[in-house]
Amino acid sequence: MSGHSHFRKIKHQKALTDAKRSQGFSKISREITVAAREGADPEFNSKLRLAIEKAKSMNMPTDNIERALKRGTEGLGEEKLDEILFEAYGPGGIAIIIEGITDNKNRSLNEIRQILQENGGKLVGEGAVKWMFERKACIIIEIKNQISLSRKQKFSGNLKIKKDELELLVIEAGAEDVYWHDDLLDVYTKIEDLEKVKKNLEERGIKIESTSLDWVAKEMIGLGEKDRVACQKLFETLDENDAVQEIYSNLKP
């Protein structure tokens, strides 16, 4: 299971430029503002809680988070924000889901359609590719921040945990599936089980980087090098659009 995630790319990219970090903060601010409309208390608004956790994991200043909250709860500012979701095909026929937040739906639709057309993709109707994905909760763990534990959850020395040891711990905590990309482990679970699995991991001494709700491909497809390069260019160009929050695909790593 996997998806291309704009947020995970932004957070873990090496030598992140100030401009890219600023754009990442802006996108997360919009996410907090939209989520806050459904309730100002993160304890009772899971969508808001996830957005704030995401902001903190990006080291977003507290003042920025509070301003974004006020915009959502007090209606500050004139900007009207709407959530959008587009389905598309990309180079080599991969399926893509694009999530976003915009202050102008028609403009964003036209911009994303143009990006797709210029990079070997095309927009499709609602439901055309969504059936290929499942909505899952995802817990992100960075292995270099973990300390090796024994099965009794007692410290066994200041040794870095091994991948198979970490996998065993997350499965014992209730994970449905796991996926490695470099030193990051995506832990997938049912949305309703997210808080339970997260708590189980923390009780086992596992440090969590962030959590999210993802569109996870049911089956992945492989592509040749030419199409893979074209897909990466498409993802990067979509990432640069201010309205795009997340991109998910069924491209096999």
Distances (CA, A) of 131 to 51, 134, 231: 25, 7, 21
Count structural domains, the chain.
3
Whether 68 and 127 map to the same domain: the answer is no
What is the rounded CA–CA span in Å between residue 100 and residue 13? 21
208 with 224, same domain?
no
Checking if the pLDDT of 21 tops 90, the result is no
Q: What is the largest CA-CA distance in the chain?
A: 57
User: Does some domain include residue 1?
Assistant: no
Which of the four pLDDT bands, split at 50, 70 and 90, describes residue 154? Answer: very low
What is the residue range of 154's domain? 134-216
The tokens 């040891």 sit on which residue? 165
More confident residue, 58 or 94: 94
Sheet holding 177-181, edge to edge: 177-181, 184-189, 133-142, 210-217
Global confidence as pTM: 0.86
Residues 41 and 160 grouped into a single domain: no
pLDDT of residue 152: 44
Which of 4-18, 77-91, 100-114, 158-172 has the highest average model confidence (pLDDT)? 100-114
The Cα–Cα gap between 38 and 144 comes to: 36
> Residues 6 or more apart from 213 whose CB is under 8 A from it?
50, 135, 136, 137, 138, 191
Is residue 4 predicted with pLDDT exceeding 50?
Answer: yes
**Phi, psi angle pair for 234, to nearest 5°:** -65, -45
Residue that is written with structure tokens 């609602």 in the block: 126
Question: Do 121 and 147 fall into the same domain?
Answer: no
Q: What is the CATH number of the domain that holds 188?
A: 3.30.70.980
Q: Indicate whether 22 pLDDT > 90.
A: no
Q: Which band of pLDDT confidence, cut at 50, 70 and 90, is reported for residue 234?
A: very high
Pick the closest to residue 99 from 211, 216, 243 (CA basis). 243
Helix 46-57 and helix 18-36, axial crossing angle in degrees, nearest 10: 160
- DSSP class of residue 186? E
As a whole number, mean pLDDT of residues 231-244 equals 94
Contact 142, 184 (CB under 8 A): yes
Our CA angle for 92, 27, 94, nearest 5°, is: 10
205: left (phi over 0), alpha (psi -120 to 50) or beta: left
Whether residues 122 and 223 share a domain: the answer is yes
Across 168-192, average pLDDT: 89
More reliable by pLDDT, 21 or 37: 37
> Residues 27-45, buried b or exposed e (16+ Cβ, 10 A)?
bbbbbbbbbbeeeeebeeb
The larger pLDDT score, comparing residue 1 to residue 84, is at 84
Taken in order 238, 242, 248, 252, the sign of the CA dihedral is: positive
Question: Which pLDDT score is estimated for 3?
Answer: 54
Same domain as 226, residue 212: no
Cα separation, 58 vs 73, whole angstroms: 22
d(CA 84, CA 36): 17
Task: Tell me the pLDDT tens digit for each residue of 184-193.
Answer: 889 999 999 9
